[in-house]
Amino acid sequence: MTVAAVSSPAPAAMAAGPCERAPAPGSFSGSYVSGGFNRRVIVHVPPAVAGRALPVVLALAGANQSSEFFERYTGLSALADGEQFIAVYPTATGLHPLWTINDDHPGAANDVVFLSGLLDGIGQRLCVDPSRIYSLGVSNGGGMTARLACELSGRIAAVVSVAGGYRSLPPCHPDVPVSVLEIHGTADPDVRYLGSGGGGPGAVGPFLSGWAARNGCRARPRRRRVGVALLRLDWTGCRLGADVSHIEVFGGGHQLPGGLPHDRGPRSTFSAVWEAWRFLRAHARAPGPYALPATPYTLPRRPGARRTDRRR
């Protein structure tokens, strides 16, 4: 994998390790190359002091959405500034970007390899807390986030999927428990709550019970109303402190509640991104088999990479 930098520190700064210097804050865009595919990526770095290891949130957009759009849509960068985490917005491949959430299409991009390598590159350039690596995805990005939980369980502590599609996911065999929050509208016309045919493939219920079983949670979740037209389910007592949770949005459509611009369908009564961060920040990965590569990637700046600062 060839990885191009999203920023270009001064030569003096490059001599110091990533945790020995204060990072330059703002949103930085550039290109990453993986498996022959050139990817647009935005990395948002909050104002932080030298030596502070920061969590990382992979933010995976839905089908046909760019990283630039998803940064605006989620408002995650503003939250990252206040809550002190790094937000990473990669773009999927194709004229109409789409994440590869299964292996059914020979020649398609291997997005598990891409995203794993992207995390490696981020960890070599910024001061990252390796126990607090997370993923948040919406729609097709939610399906990809679910796959990462299965295949990168050794390095991802928790994931959140909003209106995710699970019908075509491959079998899931994580090495260690991963905390999972799923948010879904009951009237979603694109990724149906009950799956195809009512209770069929892709249904939210089997997706959640599958994760409860993998994580060794107690059989019955705690059920409680947490807002207008919102029901929350929490499975507890899981192995290694993992959790499985679900927010059921009664009458909700295919949308990111609280996203801007607002999606079609009922107006949201809560912020899914804020609820996602509340869930993610409560979990850290237990010591496991994954470690950063002994040989760092070389990250020269790719010509044409530019910096965008949301605070201008």
Q: How confident is the model at residue 63 (pLDDT cuts 50, 70, 90)?
A: very high
**pLDDT higher than threshold 50 for residue 7:** no
Using CA atoms, how far residue 112 sits from 41, 100, 199, 239, 293, in Å, is 15, 8, 28, 25, 17
User: What torsion do the CA atoms of 127, 142, 236, 233 make, to the nearest 10 degrees?
Assistant: 140
| Res 5: pLDDT | 46
Residues 270 and 303: their CA atoms lie apart, in Å, by: 41
Q: How many residues does the chain have?
A: 312
The DSSP call for residue 108 is S
Q: For the beta carbon of residue 11, count every other beta carbon within 10 angstroms.
A: 7
Strands (E), the chain: 2-3, 26-34, 37-45, 54-60, 86-90, 128-138, 158-162, 179-185, 222-227, 230-235, 244-249, 306-308
pLDDT of residue 198: 62
Cα–Cα distance for residue pair 23/155, rounded to 1 Å: 23
Task: Identify the band that residue 288 occupies on the pLDDT scale cut at 50, 70 and 90.
Answer: low
Is there a contact between 290 and 155 (Cβ–Cβ < 8 Å)?
yes
Pairing of strands 222-227, 230-235: antiparallel
Considering only residues 301 and 174, tell me which one the structure prediction assigns the higher pLDDT: 174
Contacts of 304 (CB under 8 A, 6+ apart): 31
- Check residue 294 and give its pLDDT: 33
Across residues 101-130, what is the average pLDDT? 91
Average pLDDT along the chain: 86
Report the pLDDT averaged over residues 86-90: 98
Question: Would you place residue 268 in the very low, low, confident or very high pLDDT band (cuts 50, 70, 90)?
Answer: confident
pLDDT bin (cut points 50, 70, 90) of residue 293 is very low
Kindly indicate the confidence band of residue 295, based on its pLDDT and cuts at 50, 70 and 90. very low
Q: Are 85 and 57 in contact (CB under 8 A)?
A: yes
Phi, psi of 222, deg, nearest 5: -80, 130
Is residue 161's pLDDT more than 90? yes
Q: Which of 153-162, 187-196, 199-208 has the lowest mean pLDDT?
A: 199-208
**pLDDT one-digit tens code per residue, 221-250:** 999 999 889 999 999 999 999 999 999 999
Q: Is the pLDDT of residue 264 over 90?
A: no
pLDDT of 199 reads 63
What digits encode the pLDDT tens for the residues 208-220?
Answer: 999 999 999 987 8
Question: Tell me, what's the pLDDT at 197?
Answer: 67
State the pLDDT at residue 179. 98
Mean predicted confidence (pLDDT) in 27-51? 88
